[in-house]
Amino acid sequence: MSWRLSAPALATVLLLGACGNAQSPAGSTPASTTPSAAAASPEASPAPASVVFAWPDGDAPTVTREQTGIDERYINPGAVIEHDGELHMYANVFTGWPGRVQVPHLVSTDGVSWTLAEPEPVLTSDDVPFAEPGADVSAGYVADDGTWVLIFESVNTIGPWALGRATAPGPDGPWTVEPEPILEAGPDGSWDAGGLSWPSVVRLGEAWAMYYTALDRPRGNGVIGMATSSDGATWTKRDEPVLVPEAEWEGRGLDRPRVAPTPDGTFVMVYAGAQLTDRGVAFSADGLSWERDGDAPAITAEDFPITGRAWDAALLQRDGDLTYYLEIGSASGTGGTQVYRATATLAEEGD
């Protein structure tokens, strides 16, 4: 059985502008260890993406800062976990970037209407020993033994970012942060020497697969790396990235991979280019080799339901449908950001 995205609509939630500025590879000069984007042929127009995004809620955000009860300027969707028919969002709320981050827990049955599960944040970056000064939740899952897991990146002002892990006996916590990172930057001169960020975790056979942004240097050029784990605690990096910038729209870097399984056991990824407003789609049969969905971005700023920029996102596959939550808004002035939603239907090839 083969599936494809038909009549798609993905949800987008934007992440803090300042956040994007801290990690954005746009305008940077590529190091020799990072592949640069391939030049487009002047004789051929780029093939458009087959995935077409729509915004079913119009300009109404799906999740707002206000409903978390936390008085900050920015919100991103963080990690979205489905368990026993219920959705759990561990969002990130903050003002300064890099800075202190608070993580509220919200719940939903349909992915459209969300309510606050607890009045206080379940986690803050103050709980992370290696946060200098922040930590941003980016992925989550429920382990085979029932342990709840959140994966986050340290948001450091100095030094490469690293990935960490927090665990809990249930969705409400209490959350225990492991004192050391689970994955760190590579040695000087390597393609991931600049730090790791924005992890996304999916099941891959009997193991777990983690996709993440890897920089060649702090604030440098991004590629998509991958690590695997048999237990979710000890992770092993692949020696080379699984996706590097090639399409003209991607610029000199890739960022913020979000990966979800499809009903037949293959995988779909939504990711950003160097300009974080632009998002592309790629597919993989095995989680290792990825094929782009066309040569053009599937989402640009013109597609957003409001005027603004985009940052972090979360991707969910449920009953053959995809939902993409995207942080959109402004990093300046009083606007801030909110989370917006789009959806896409997975259909059997030939439908």
pLDDT digits (tens, 9 = 90+) for 191-211: 999 999 999 999 999 999 999
Residue 64 DSSP SS3 = coil
Long-range contacts of range 69-72, CB-CB < 8 Å, 24 or more positions apart? 69/104, 69/116, 69/119, 70/102, 70/104, 70/121, 72/102
C-alpha distances out from residue 28 to 6, 24, 221, 228, 290, Å:
36, 9, 7, 30, 25
Residue 20: what pLDDT?
Answer: 44
For domain 3-30+49-348, give its CATH number from 2.115.10.20, 3.40.640.10, 1.10.3720.10, 3.10.310.30: 2.115.10.20
For the chain, the structural domain boundaries read: 3-30+49-348
Residue 268: what pLDDT?
Answer: 93
Residue 350: what pLDDT?
Answer: 53
Rounded Cα gap, residues 92 and 151, in angstroms: 12
pLDDT by 10s per residue, the chain, length 351: 345 444 333 333 333 333 444 333 222 333 333 444 444 444 567 788 777 778 999 999 999 999 999 999 999 999 999 999 999 999 999 999 999 999 999 999 999 999 999 999 999 999 999 999 999 999 999 999 999 999 999 999 988 999 999 999 999 999 999 999 999 999 999 999 999 999 999 999 999 999 999 999 988 899 999 999 999 999 999 999 999 999 999 999 999 999 999 988 899 999 999 999 999 999 999 999 999 999 999 889 999 999 999 999 999 988 778 899 999 999 987 789 999 998 877 655 555
The answer to whether 3 touches 263, Cβ cutoff 8 Å, is: yes
